[in-house]
Amino acid sequence: MTTPLTLTDERRPDGTPVLVAEGEIDMSNVGDFRAAVDRAVDGAGRLVVDLTAVDYLDSAGLAALFAHAPRLELIAPPLLDPVLTVSGLADLATVRIT
């Protein structure tokens, strides 16, 4: 069974791509998440990934983010702060906890 995940592509007024994720990111749906991140970051100098509506992020989801970490700005809820910090992703990507 695939865990529910909604992915939406947006753009900031300055043209920066934003990928908004809602739900849970785990091994059951990481293929869709990885494809969305890869597609959004392709050709972009920087990608904002809005995780504020993500309730769960496992190691498969982290791996998808690590692949592009230096080019990412992650907006995340306090719930994900420990995962992003302990994994080391917060040292490689820009992270804003909201």
Q: What are phi and psi of 34, to 5 degrees?
A: -60, -45
- The Cα–Cα gap between 60 and 56 comes to 11
Q: What are phi and psi of 68, to 5 degrees?
A: -130, 15
Per-residue pLDDT reduced to its tens digit, 6-49? 999 999 999 999 999 999 999 999 999 999 999 999 877 899 99
pLDDT in the model for residue 43: 77
**Using 50, 70 and 90 to split pLDDT, how confident is the model at 90?**
very high
Q: What is the token pair recorded at 67?
A: 């692949």
pLDDT in the model for residue 1: 75
Q: Under a CB-based contact definition with an 8 Å cutoff, are residues 6 and 22 in contact?
A: yes
